[in-house]
Homo-oligomer: A and B are copies of this chain.
Amino acid sequence: TKQYRITLLPGDGIGPEIMAVTVEVLKVVGKQHKIEFAFEEALIGGAAIDATGEPLPAKTLEICRSSDAVLLAAIGGYKWDNLPRQQRPETGLLALRGGLNLFANLRPATILPQLIDASTLKREVVEGVDIMVVRELTGGIYFGQPKGIFETETGEKRGVNTMAYTESEIDRIAKIGFETAQKRRGKLCSVDKANVLDVSQLWRDRVTAMAANYPNVELTHLYVDNAAMQLVRAPKQFDTIVTGNLFGDILSDAAAMLTGSIGMLPSASLGLDGLGVFEPVHGSAPDIAGQDQANPLAQILSAAMMLRYGLNEPEAATKIEQAVIKVLDQGYRTGDIMSAGMKAVGCREMGEVLIKVL
């Protein structure tokens, strides 16, 4: 029996509900694959602010560091929206990414045949879409210095942020981009704004130079505005996309929305030393929190990503992924993906039918 220490960060809104269901699923799969999980819960986001005044207590970071993988649900809510930025839930998330050196964020946008009609795009445009966005997560304008609100000579305020990348920061994420493309369909599209930004020019030069090491990967470049257009115009042209922190934030959300079922999408954030954080793409949905209405499948698929990328347990991961397909085939749907003729279930019941399938 293998043993893993998993940190659970349920966070805010629907977080605790979808996390609870996911833990049950992990226990069942663990038994089947001779894996023992030791779960430890820690505070982040609004829940942490309420309990300790800080969105990421030092203790949480410590617990994460001493574990084998971190499963995060979602953070944030109206309640904390008007606090100063240093005390907001999002700041806790950024501190977690920085604190664990999670420089590589993998965000798949795959369209499931069962849910294709949930897309706002025409069936023929999105059928078969399977995009992986590799987003740099600990650099760029999210962390660049100087930043702040300063007073100018004329006495007016000036807000400032700095978009910066060093060669080594670009190289390490580009490497993940090429390797990811290699394991997929061999196409990598690097997205930047090199016709305007110096930082993008350096980005493009480094990515281009690295292509020589990956002769079996076809590298292309797109400006970010054109990439946003192409995602809408012809998303099937994309396999793997690699891009910086801000562009990745925008494009991965646009790509996720193409599928029409953002409640189904997991993500992985990987660090230097093999420690990863796994979380759904969707947010904390405070409007439906505590009502047993949330879709737990993105969280459950995040647990599958954890098994695959974080713990190197691909069989257990596949087991979960296949079970998710099966419950969809059986017609079970939470409210966000409900359509005519399907069986409406709540969060807990979705977990139960999934465990039955397992």
Contacts and interface: CB of A to CB of B under 8 A. Distances in A.
B250 A203 contact: no
A322 interface: no
Interface residues of A, number: 58
A171 to B, nearest CB: 10
Contact of A198 (B160, B164, B226): B160
A325 to B, nearest CB: 24
Contact of A160 (B164, B168, B224, B249): B164
Contacts of A152: 166
Q: Is the interface of A mostly helix, strand, loop or mixed?
A: helix
Contacts of A125: 120
Interface stretch (A252-260, A272-280, A340-348): A252-260
A159 B246 contact: no
A162 interface: yes
Contacts of A148: 198
Given A163-B161, A164-B158, A250 B232 contact: no
Contacts of A232: 120-121, 232, 254, 257-258
A229 interface: yes
A228 B255 CA distance: 9
A133 to B, nearest CB: 12
Nearest to A256: B229
Tallying the copies of this chain within the complex gives: 2
A257 B226 CA distance: 10
A156 B161 contact: no
Contact of A250 (B160, B228, B256, B262): B228
- By CB atoms of chain B within 10 A, which of A161, A167, A199, A262 has the most? A161
Nearest to A124: B120
B249 A149 contact: no
Interface stretch (A35-43, A58-66, A189-197, A302-310): A189-197
A196 B156 contact: no
A163 B229 CA distance: 23
Contacts of A253: 225-226, 228-229
Contacts of A200: 159
Nearest to A165: B159
B161 A167 contact: no
Given A121-B122, A228-B228, A198 B250 contact: no
A239 B225 CA distance: 21
A153 B198 CA distance: 19
A13 to B, nearest CB: 15
A233 interface: yes
Contacts of A163: 141, 160-163
Contacts of A251: 228
A110 to B, nearest CB: 16
26 contacts: A88-B195, A90-B196, A120-B125, A121-B122, A141-B163, A141-B196, A148-B198, A152-B166, A157-B167, A157-B202, A159-B164, A159-B200, A159-B201, A161-B162, A161-B164, A162-B162, A193-B246, A193-B249, A228-B228, A228-B250, A229-B254, A229-B256, A232-B232, A232-B254, A250-B250, A254-B254
Kindly list the 5 A-B residue pairs having the minimum CB-CB distance in the complex, ordered from nearest. A159-B202, A159-B199, A229-B257, A225-B253, A228-B254
Interface of A: 85, 88, 90, 94, 120-122, 125, 141-142, 144, 147-149, 152, 156-168, 193, 195-203, 224-226, 228-229, 231-234, 246, 249-254, 256-258, 262
